[in-house]
Amino acid sequence: MTWRAKPALWKKASRERFPYAPHVARFHRAWLVAAVTFLVLMTSAAFRSSVGVLVVPLEDEFGWSRSVTSIAVAVNLILYGLTAPFAAALMGRFGVRNIAAGALTLIAIGTGLTTVMTDPWHLVILWGVIVGLGVGAVALIFGSLVVNRWFDKRRGLMLGVMGAAWATGQLVFLPLIANVIDAAGWRTASWGIAIAALALIPIIWFVLVDRPSDVGLLPYGADPNNPPAEEHNTEGSAATAAKTTIRTLVEVARHRTFWILAGTFFVCGWTTNGIVSTHFIPAAHDEGMHATAAAGLLAVVRCVETDAVDALDQLDAAPADGLHGCRCHALIFAWRAAVDNYGRSRQTI
């Protein structure tokens, strides 16, 4: 036997002993899957928070009051929160890729049809219901599911990265959306969001895979000598998955810890995402600040406060839950200071 035949025999023996091969690959597909997941989370965050930039243009064109537009935002937030557990069950039944693609389709339909709406209830249905369901299905539960399936090592790091996607989406896209509205109108911005959502679907379809085992891989960092048990999608219909979710929620609702966590995240989400992210830009506009400047300020503050709290939470350097509870106040003070400085500068000019 020549030395040239030995590598081939070694590879054959390796495949027979270890049917998965990620431990010998220089680049693991998990990083590509994580990058696409981060992109989806980042853009979905921009899609949901872009309503804050659209409030004033909608009020100016249709003559709607702030309370009318706030109803659509409230419906959007409620469905955004309620959709997540059901979306997780549907992903376990029909696959992450299928549900993510369907969610982006809903976002595209909802934002695209807002360009032809004429009544306030249209905004509630399109942005509140349809976009709320779509964004809720690709929220952090989507990123957590992908990370837990694809990463054995670096799992905590990747969960933190996925959590930062929300603030990153606002930092990147909010000023851009505000500039587009200022230059070409809110309908152009809505069409841009719809097209961006549709453009992500083929990327998801060709890159995102439900599990590493579907392509003959192990999770990143997994021990090939002790591979994890192979998983498969659950059986049954969508109704069965929904019933399973309801049973799980009823079971965990009996525990006090669940209500403490649920209440904490409710306050955090309703203040930062509901009050500040939605009304920060319109309130700054009412005080004389340009929408683009307000969008940039909001994006920077949200990015800094989110990353700081997440970093402290990972390092156990401070009570992160307490910091989460103070985020709304910090943002309000930042907005107030920025608006006051802006008003003084205009008076000086």
Whether residue 272 is predicted with pLDDT greater than 80 in this model: the reply is no
Tell which wins on pLDDT, 37 or 93. Answer: 37
Give pLDDT, residue 288: 77
Mean of per-residue pLDDT scores for the chain: 76
Per the structure, the count of domains in the chain is: 1
Instruction: Name residue 220's beta-bridge partners.
Output: 151
Tokens representing residue 68 in the block = 């009318």
CA 160/CA 313 separation, integer angstroms = 10
Domain-embedded: residue 129: yes
Asked if residue 226 is part of any domain, the answer here is no
Residue 305: predicted pLDDT: 57
Judged by average pLDDT, the poorest of 28-32, 117-121, 190-194, 307-311 is 307-311
Sign for the CA dihedral angle at 271, 130, 90, 86 comes to positive
Evaluate whether residue 116 is within a structural domain. yes
- Give the pLDDT of residue 110: 92
Distance CA 293, CA 120 (A): 28
Reduced to 3 states (helix: H, G, I; strand: E, B; else coil), residue 151 is strand
Q: What is the pLDDT of residues 291-344, one digit of tens each?
A: 677 777 776 766 665 554 554 444 444 444 444 444 444 444 444 444 445 444
| Residue whose C-alpha is closest to residue 183's, from 89, 53, 85 | 53
User: Is 151 inside any structural domain?
Assistant: yes
Residue 320 included in any domain:
yes
Rounded average pLDDT over 45-51? 80
Cα angle value 153/319/299 (rounded, 5°): 75
Compute the distance between CA of residue 264 and CA of residue 253 in angstroms, rounded to an integer.
15
Which residue type does 169 have?
G
Could you tell me if residue 4 is inside a domain? no
**CATH number of domain containing 297:** 1.20.1250.20
In angstroms, the Cα distances linking 342 to 8, 85, 138, 330, 339 are 70, 43, 37, 18, 5
Q: Report the amino acid identity of residue 158.
A: M
168 within domain boundaries: yes
Whether residue 48 lies inside any domain: the answer is yes
pLDDT per residue over 196-249, tens digit each? 999 999 999 998 888 888 888 888 888 787 777 677 767 677 777 788 888 888
Residue-number span of the structural domain to which 295 is assigned: 29-220+235-348
Q: Can you spell out the DSSP letters for 290-348?
A: -HHHHHHHHHHHHHHHHHHHHHHHHHT-S-HHHHHHHHHHHHHHHHHHHHHHHHHHHHH
Say yes or no to pLDDT of 348 above 50: no
* Cβ contact 95:223 at 8 Å: no
Find the range with the poorest average confidence among 63-67, 142-146, 225-229: 225-229
Length of the chain in terms of residues written = 349
